[in-house]
Amino acid sequence: MSVGICTAAIGEHYQYFLPEWAESIDQLSTEADWVTIAHDGVDDKIRRYVDQLLHPLWVRVENTASNPAVNVNAAIACTGTDWIMKLDVDDLLLPHALDGVRGTDADVLCFGFRMRGTDHPGLSWATESILMKTGNLVASCSPFRRWVWEHQPFQDVIYDDWLFWINAARNGARFAGTNRIDYQYRVHDLQMTKHVDHARAYAQIKEC
């Protein structure tokens, strides 16, 4: 059962997260089988450093999306693994993150995360809870079986991961939690969610 890690490093500033992102993957106790990075241009020095650690597949894209994160679809399309993890380029995995992914019977393994010093363990969710749309119950970096993405890729909306989990639930995916903390969610001023109308974005999800 193979596992691939994918990301999108789009925009001049996001490439500078890549070295630490790559270091967090390099120190995993259970290695990924494949790493793919969608990008629209990366500094040669950064690219060489990441290549030394991971030997990833680099996929060049021309960003036309309102939410550049959805360019991860290009990376996933080139990643031939049974499981996919969309690891946002500004997030960092903990060493045990992939431990147990290959052994689960679920279709989505709900990761836990640490944000601003607060822990949010990965919990199991019933499909019905996901479909209620009361909030995004699944962390963005949670691994999923490839078929989940094949049925419905990430869409160009602000809360792209939230809508992705809703569509996964609609298509019959089963959600199990790790009951632990699996990655560090980093908060910074470049994040798109800091510069959007959240009420409008939430309403868009509710209408989907």
Between CA 84 and CA 6 the distance in angstroms is 7
What domains lie within the chain, and their CATH numbers?
3-207 (3.90.550.10)
Q: Are 161 and 136 in contact (CB under 8 A)?
A: yes
pLDDT of residue 196: 61
Q: What is the pLDDT of residues 41-68, one digit of tens each?
A: 999 999 999 999 999 999 999 988 888 8
Mean of the per-residue pLDDT values for the chain?
A: 92
Between CA 183 and CA 119 the distance in angstroms is 10
Of the candidates 64, 62, 58, the residue with the CA atom closest to the CA atom of residue 46 = 58
Between CA 18 and CA 162 the distance in angstroms is 24
Q: What is the pTM of this model?
A: 0.93
| Dihedral sign computed on CA atoms, order 114, 193, 155, 165 | positive
Q: Are 187 and 115 in contact (CB under 8 A)?
A: yes
Q: What is the pLDDT of residues 61-106, one digit of tens each?
A: 998 888 888 999 999 999 999 999 999 999 999 999 999 898 899 9
Of the candidates 129, 112, 113, the residue with the CA atom closest to the CA atom of residue 174 = 129
Q: Is the pLDDT of residue 195 over 70?
A: no
pLDDT of residue 65: 84
Between CA 75 and CA 83 the distance in angstroms is 13
DSSP 76-113: HHT---SEEEE--TT-EE-TTTTTTGGG--SSEEE--E
pLDDT of residue 193: 59
pLDDT of residue 42: 94
59, HSE (Cβ side, Cα atoms, 13 Å): 18
